[in-house]
Structures are given as structure tokens and as C-alpha cells.
Structure 1
């Protein structure tokens, strides 16, 4: 097929030949061809492109879908999901780019139907489909504290995964935390399934905290992807700190830095390090009006105690033990828990918040750093070393 330049040249040559023939005269009719060869219709100048491209596979679910036109203006763009529903999106000011505003689903097919008009006023169209990535496994992510919780000043923010993750640095980059006032803190990995944020010092009282784990669509490693983003908004309450020096047989409660209560207690048996109440800074993990205690090693099962505040996953609680009243305030003889008289245990229970710090000193037993709540059992420098960044 001749291009436009070839057609014009041929027309000029034909015309020149006709002039020469006329000038030379000669017999015959002199009846050559009349006019130029017909021109081929030009193609539209506009060009439509899409990202992901038509027929693409394993497209990222977080990358916005774009449809672009060069040398023209978009007249309509529709992107529909497998259910036939349109994906939300918008045009830029000069309608040369359409960009989606929805996050895409895993393992889904999306179909384009786009049209544009070129600067030559000729229409062009784009049609076709692409598919998004299908994770080898989808991992459930949770965040704690939950929405609208009021917590103590030692409460960490904890993000947990239903299976092991590998890309810890990428995960940590996707964790966002905002506070109503300046708080220095750091994320730290406690295991391949848990990353916590704790402040350098206790949270300031009445701090508002917003935490977002924007993990959907991020490769968590090993073909695993998060099922969904998780977020939380919670409030740090008043500052209450419990301090126990085990040889003193006393549990002191400080609020706003001032001592507000002092309760006689019995702590873990001093003569058996395995029964000591461990040293370290713990937090109130749960509040249970009734708790059942079992320890076959020491010969007791199904023991019901009231006003129980768990302080570790190692088995330690602060709880009522009226049966041990003769020792409370005088002798340490428990199996590691902090025993209080009934009325004192109830009063403390009512005053406690999940996340209140409990500082224990004077014991021979170190804190159990294999717990999933051990954020305050290590130094600040050691905690920062647990970050993947």
C-alpha cells in the first residue's frame, strides 16, 4: 500500500507526462489517464492504553488501574468486575487519563470498555480484560486494643498474624500510628506472628491513639497476603501503676504518681525460685471476676478464685485468696501469684484497666521473656533492636 507521500508523487509524475505529450504533438488521440490515483483513508491518530494491559495476569491489587489516551480525549471508561459491577474511578481535568479509586480483589477478572475521540475527530476503542493475583494463602490479621477501648498507660499496640510472615520490613512500613500528643516509641517483633508498638516510657495519660495496619495487597512472604487491612482507635486512661517489692509483702498502687492504696499481699514462695513471683514490668492482661486455677505439678486443680487480674502468660495473677489470709501481709507462700484479701482484691479489681503496669522487684526469678506480652521486660535499646527497620 502506498503512503500519502507516494500518492502525491505519482500524481505529479502523471501530470508532467501529460504536459510533455501535449508539447511534442504527434499523431493519435493524446488521451492519457485523467486525474490522480485514489488516496487510502488514514488511521485514527488517538491511541488508547491501559495498565494493567489487556490479557495481563497476576496484576497487583493495590496498583490503581489507569486508562490513557494520546492525541485525543476520553469519552467513556468502564471497568467492571466479575459480578458486572462498575469499579469507581475518575478522569483527570483534560480527560486524557482515567484512574480507578477502588482496591481490587484477589484472583478476580476485570473487563475494560473504553472509548476516546482523537484530535482528528475519529473514535477509538479499547476492550478486553485482565486478572489479579491469587495468593497462595490469605493470612488473617488482628489488632489490639480494639476500637473505643480505654486502656492503661503500659498497653502496647499488638498486630498478630494467623501464620508466620517473612517480609517484616515491608510489613512494618505499612504500620501507621497517630497520637494526640508526641509519643516516642517503636515497633518490635516478638515472633514471626506478632509485632507490637510500645512507647519508650509509659503512654501519657489521656492520649488518643489511631493505629492502621495497611497490609492488604502486600506480600507478607511465602505467597501469603493479608485478607484485609485492620485499624483501631482507642484512648489511654488515667495513669495507674502497681509496684510490688516482694520481700515487703505489700502491693502499692500509684495514680498520677501519688500513692492511693497499699494492700497487704502474699507473693510467690521465696525458698523455691520456680514459685517466685517474677521480677519485671508486666501489664494487666485480663480482668476475670472468677478464675479457675490448675497446677498438677503442685497438686491442685479446679481452684476457683475471685477478682483475678492476669499479669503474664506464665501463669501469674493478682487475685483474692481469702483461704490464705493468715499469710497475707506476712509470708510469701503462693505458687507465683499475688494473693490479696477479698475486700482488697475487689477494690483493686474495680480500679484496674487492661494495660496498667505492674512493676515487681525483689525476686530471684527473672521475667519470662518468651511470653507474647513481654514488651516492658526488655530495655528500650533492646526493644528498638526488635524492629525490622
Structure 2
């Protein structure tokens, strides 16, 4: 190497060392100097000035390049909304629903190697034109135990514009599990039943989680509600018109046989000119309610009480099985006919002793099946749900 070239190389090395740039190939990139780290970045959801936020959508605060030191979400009254912070302190999420038509403020602070950051935002929740309230039948807690035939009814106080959204907000949990489905009875009411009768001992929970749900047409769910039921023994009363008798089974075992008298043959014309048949329809009924004494008046279905076949009487030990006025009840006036002929206006007549037993043992959800008469029960009469074929039932869902 020439003396001149050697001197030039030495000079270059000296300059490089003076600038601190002499590094080996495996030392990597230069270490950032103090103050060069990124400040924490806070992201708020909903963002500032967002409108029409669903009250059930969670408020969320996230941070990168740091950890959250504090998060507050307050309503117009200054009350803080409950929330939870992740273990790594990078995410906060609200833990309770918000109110309708309210303004909320989010304030968050975070810190990291790059320093501290703060962020603030305000948003407003949706203002419903109308709210929709769900009721149940059977009512919650009355009774807690029902029969194997009891459908569950959800009745909205207003007809939801979006039936599918309303139905999606409903959930039935059965233990043990059974196949079941919803059927829209009318524009405000839908029923749920299993494919076959409930299994005795089943625990049923119905959740109507409709708060915050957009039900269409400016409607939103007013509140969440739930119903808990236990299914009792399998009680079925089967009435054969030809034999004029009722056979009662409990969990498949025959426990009682009673003579009966049902609706007399023929019909009459009501006050409005409409034909009134007295024949008790065949089909599967479900007990709905019962009375120690029930006043019954034929004018309720168009036959004046002062007509030749009319009546206005206080009837003892009456169990309703249809909305149209069919009851199973004690009938001491027809004991001689029971087991032989039909003489009632459509009800199932029992002797006082049999009527007392039936009244004491049958209630909500227990099944009465009538066969052999000349007419069929309208499936929409009371809880005639079991008279609808399963394939047809499934078609009654708004989700199918």
C-alpha cells in the first residue's frame, strides 16, 4: 500500500470515530434518544359528536403505546357509568346499558414512555318515537309450575314494525333441551312451544332482551324481562264422545275415569243472526284458568239469556279450556245424563265429586283432549297450539 493511500484511510477512520458512526454489522439500529418515544394514543368509541347511539352498544376506550390511568363516562346528571378495565390496562368497556335520548361525556387519561395523553368526547343516544313493552303468559311467578301443554306467550303492547327483530330478541332455554319454535298469533302476540309436549320436570327460562333493540318504524324495546317456569307432571284428560267418559292419566298412568256430558247436538240462531253450534269441538285443549264460582251468561256469545236455551248462572268449580267459553265444570243438574247423552251448551259436565277432583288437580298447562265429535277446535281458540301441525307451526315464525 502506498504511503499516500495509507494516510487517506487513517484519516477516514479518525473522522468516522469522531462522529460516533463506527459500528459493527450486528449492532442494529441506533437506540432512540430520550423524548423520541410515541405518546399514548387514545381512541374513543363512540367518537365525539356521534348521534343516535344505541343504548346497548358498549362504550369503549382503547390506548396504544401506553396504559389507561383513568376513564369516566357520565350522564347528564353527572352519574358515572360502570365499566371494566382489561388486565393490561389498554381497554376500558362499559358494563351497563345507557338511557334513551341522553347526552354522555367520555374522559380518558393515559401514560407511557412517551409521556401522558388525555382525550374527551360527547355523544347522544337514540330517541325512540315509541317504546314497546313485553308481557308474558303465564305471568311471571303465577304459577311457577305449569303443565306439559303450556305454550309461552309474549304479548307486546304495540305491534312491532319489524317482527323479525322482535323475535330475534327472544330466547327460550329449556333444561333438558327440546326442539321448539315461535309462531306469530297476531301482530302483537307470538307463542312458543316444543315440537312435542314438554317433558315433566323441564326448567324453562324465557328472556325478552328487547331494550335498545330497533323494532322498526321508530320503535325500540322499553325494557328487558324474563320468565321462569317448571313443567309439572304429565296430566292429560282424554274425553271420548261415543263413550261419554273422561279418562285421566298422570305420567302415562290412568288414575281416574269419570262419566261426562258435553255439548248437545244441533244449533240455534243468535241475536245477530249468526249460527250458534252447541257441539263441543274435538281437538287438544290446554287449561287456562279456573274459578271456584264462575258466572256464565249465554249472551256473551250472542244467545240472549232470556231465550229458550239461554242462561245466566253461577257455575261451581269451573276450569276454562277455551277462549270461546268452553269449561270443564261441576254440573249437579246433569248427573243423570253424564255417561249417557250430551245436554250442555258446549262445556264438559262432571258430577260434583268428579268436578271437585278435576278442579283440584288440573290447572295452567294441563291437557284436555276431546275426540269423536262432529266439529273441530279452531287452533286460535285459546291455547289450541297443539292442533297446528309442526311444519305449519315453523312457518309462523318471522325468521322463516
TM-score by length of 1: 0.84
Distance 1:374 1:82, change over 3 A: farther
Alpha-carbon distance between aligned partners in 2 of 1:134 and 1:83, rounded to the nearest angstrom: 18
Shift of 1:94: 2.2
Structure 2 residue 369 is the aligned partner of structure 1 residue 359: yes
The correspondence of residues 1-389 of structure 1 with structure 2, limited to 5 A, is 45-121=39-115, 123-145=116-138, 146-147=140-141, 149-272=144-267, 274-296=277-299, 297-300=302-305, 302-371=312-381, 373-389=383-399
Shift of 1:354: 0.7
Alpha-carbon distance between aligned partners in 1 of 2:153 and 2:244, rounded to the nearest angstrom: 33
Q: CA RMSD in A?
A: 2.0
Q: CA deviation digits over 1:209-252, x for unaligned, max 9?
A: 12212111111222212211111221111111011122322122
Shift of 1:382: 1.2
Asked if the contact 1:249/1:329 (under 8 Å) is kept, the reply is yes
Shift of 1:44: 7.4
Shift of 1:372: 5.2
Shift of 1:159: 1.2
Q: CA deviation digits over 1:58-106, x for unaligned, max 9?
A: 1011111011223332111001122222111112222222110111111
Which segment drifts farther, 233-242 or 220-229? Answer: 220-229
Distance 1:141 1:289, change over 3 A: same
Equivalent position SS for 2:61: strand
Alpha-carbon distance between aligned partners in 2 of 1:349 and 1:201, rounded to the nearest angstrom: 25
TM-score by length of 2: 0.82
Alpha-carbon distance between aligned partners in 2 of 1:238 and 1:334, rounded to the nearest angstrom: 30
Unaligned runs of 5+ in 2: 1-34, 268-275, 306-310
Asked if the contact 1:155/1:198 (under 8 Å) is kept, the reply is yes
Shift of 1:329: 2.2
Alpha-carbon distance between aligned partners in 2 of 1:144 and 1:84, rounded to the nearest angstrom: 39
Alpha-carbon distance between aligned partners in 2 of 1:202 and 1:44, rounded to the nearest angstrom: 65
Shift of 1:118: 4.5
- Cross-structure match for 1:36: none
Asked if the contact 1:274/1:365 (under 8 Å) is kept, the reply is no
Unaligned runs of 5+ in 1: 1-40
Distance 1:282 1:231, change over 3 A: same
Q: CA deviation digits over 1:297-354, x for unaligned, max 9?
A: 3333541101111001111111112123332222212111111111210111101121
The size of the alignment, in residue pairs, is 348
